[in-house]
Chains A and B, each alone.
Chain A
Amino acid sequence: MNNNFVKGSWQEILDWAQNKSINMLHYCTGCGAIELPPTMTSRYDMSRFGIGPAATPRQADLLLVTGYLSTKTLRRLVYTYEQMQAPKFVVGFGSCTINGGMYWDSYNTIKQLDKYLPVEMYIAGCMPRPEAILDGLLKLKKMIADGEADGYQRYEENKDFYHQNQEAVLGEVQRTQ
């Protein structure tokens, strides 16, 4: 009981630190990438909320998927996600990640990102403006602080579901750790 209490409080402290300091890896294959430079630089400075860019997947906490994913880039996205370290979050960006957007009948893009990776939240729009991105990321910060952003746990629990969906599109997927 006492031990659980200590563990819970420590987890709350870590959640608090995590929500104040997020390193973002932006996976920029879609067109939404063009909205990120203004969000990071002097016009809408996102670093005042403690969100900054990360150089590599190992150092990142947040994977921002900016726009459509062809089956070829989905493979790289899965590899990238599996290289990230445990408290990790995925945010879908733009309508392409929700329902395919303008690529809904394309032959080689995926339509729902949620079937392949555990998405915490979406930022809707085609494309969302920097204000919308900041709004979305602030909501993500709140979710992390409340301990609601548990995508990496869902990924572990429903491993079979996600792996099955990935393999249905990609064929064989090389599992890294």
Chain B
Amino acid sequence: MIDLIYKIGHFLLITIFTMALGLLFMGIARKIVARIQKRYGPPIYQPYLDVLKLFGKNAITHGFIFDFGAVMALGGVITTLFFIPLGSWQLYSMEGTVLLIIYLLAVASLGMAMGTVGSGNPQASVGISRALTQMLGYELPYLVILFALIFRYQTSSIWGLMQAQAGSFLNWNLFAYPLMALVAFVVLIGMMGKKPFDAMIAPSEIGSGPVVESGGKYLGMLLLQKSITIIIELALYVNLFLGGADNIFSFSFKMLIVWVLATMFGSLFPRFRIEDGVKFFWKWPLGIAILQALYIII
């Protein structure tokens, strides 16, 4: 019983911390993009104000499926948090978490898809179909990388893969397999929907895609979902390629470095059309990932 209460408390703490950290990262990204465009930019705490404002607004629903989709998107990412080691914080560790996380992140995307079906807006449908198409693009190179890593270290838990890189920083996969880390970085940008691969949100073209009908509280919920998603994806990268960390502070710092780099790359490139984006993923990242995987296996 005590154990259960401890776990629930721990879990709530992780969820709230992750939301706060994700929103802070979003604020930092807005500032960085503003500075690159020679603007002053909004204050770093702007996303917190946005969330507070959005939860204070009215919101209309488009039916049960719409509500359920938003809850499923948020629930999907919160569940994923169970299995991600954040520094020394981890609730469950077992074999196969690497693959489990890919499935659970897909649940969040499918929740979004359900919400857009409920809203019935054609632009939302275009947006979510692009998001799922893009998922098809980046998951293939990502899975090749994951299978190569699993083969190399003979473990399929994230914790195990992180432990395998312990010791010197030269053991990090970033230095051991730099090509793979590069591919994973490109995949990370695609996962987070940053600039070259943001055809699914495209505000000036399809009016922010999947969230086109979500206003007020729904948008606030999806903003929180986005903030957790960012942390999950960054944590995955840090655990797999930067050797994780012993405590949450150095872990957050590593995530911040990856996030700043991804933001900078993102603000330099124009947008890929969706078919070009998928073609790109299947040409360069997939090719390089297969070469590196062959190198590991042979």
Contact = CB atoms under 8 A, between A and B. Distances in A.
A-B complex: 8 closest residue pairs judged by Cβ atoms: A58-B215, A86-B58, A14-B56, A55-B208, A45-B39, A17-B52, A55-B203, A42-B38
A79 to B, nearest CB: 14
Interface in B6-61: 30, 34, 37-43, 46, 49-50, 52-53, 56-60
A175 interface: no
Interface in A83-115: 84-87
Contact of A17 (B30, B38, B56): B56
Contacts of B30: 47
B211 interface: yes
Question: Main SS of the interface on chain B?
Answer: loop
Contacts of B53: 14, 17-18, 20-21, 61
A147 interface: no
B96 to A, nearest CB: 39
A17 B204 CA distance: 26
Contacts of B207: 55-56
A85 B37 CA distance: 31
Interface of A: 13-14, 17-18, 20-21, 41-42, 45, 47-48, 50, 52-53, 55-59, 61, 84-87, 177
Contacts of B60: 85, 177
Contact of B39 (A17, A42, A53, A56): A42
B213 interface: yes
Contacts of B160: none
Contacts of B40: 45, 47-48
Contacts of B58: 85-87
Q: How large is the interface on B (under 10, 10 to 19, 20 to 34, 35 or more residues)?
A: 20 to 34
A118 B213 CA distance: 24
A53 B42 CA distance: 13
B216 to A, nearest CB: 4
A53 B30 CA distance: 14
Interface of B: 30, 34, 37-43, 46, 49-50, 52-53, 56-60, 203-204, 207-208, 211-216, 219
Given A14-B53, A47-B41, A177-B60, A59 B34 contact: no
A20 B57 contact: no
Given A21-B50, A84-B215, A86-B58, A45 B34 contact: yes
Contacts of A20: 46, 49, 53
A58 B212 contact: yes
A42 B215 CA distance: 28
Nearest to A83: B215
Contacts of B219: 58-59
Nearest to B218: A58
A149 B211 CA distance: 27
Nearest to B38: A42
Contacts of B57: 61, 85-87
A42 B49 contact: no
A50 to B, nearest CB: 6
A86 B56 CA distance: 10
B38 A52 contact: no
Contacts of B34: 45, 47
Contacts of A47: 30, 34, 39-42
Contacts of A57: 215
A59 B56 contact: no
20 contacts: A14-B53, A17-B52, A17-B53, A41-B37, A45-B39, A47-B40, A47-B41, A48-B39, A50-B49, A55-B204, A55-B208, A55-B212, A56-B208, A56-B215, A59-B208, A61-B57, A85-B58, A85-B59, A86-B58, A87-B56
Given A17-B52, A42-B37, A50-B46, 11 more contacts: A20-B53, A41-B39, A45-B39, A52-B42, A55-B204, A56-B207, A58-B216, A59-B215, A61-B57, A85-B216, A87-B58
B221 to A, nearest CB: 13
Contacts of A50: 42-43, 46, 49
B114 to A, nearest CB: 18
A84 B57 CA distance: 10
A48 B41 contact: yes
B249 to A, nearest CB: 29
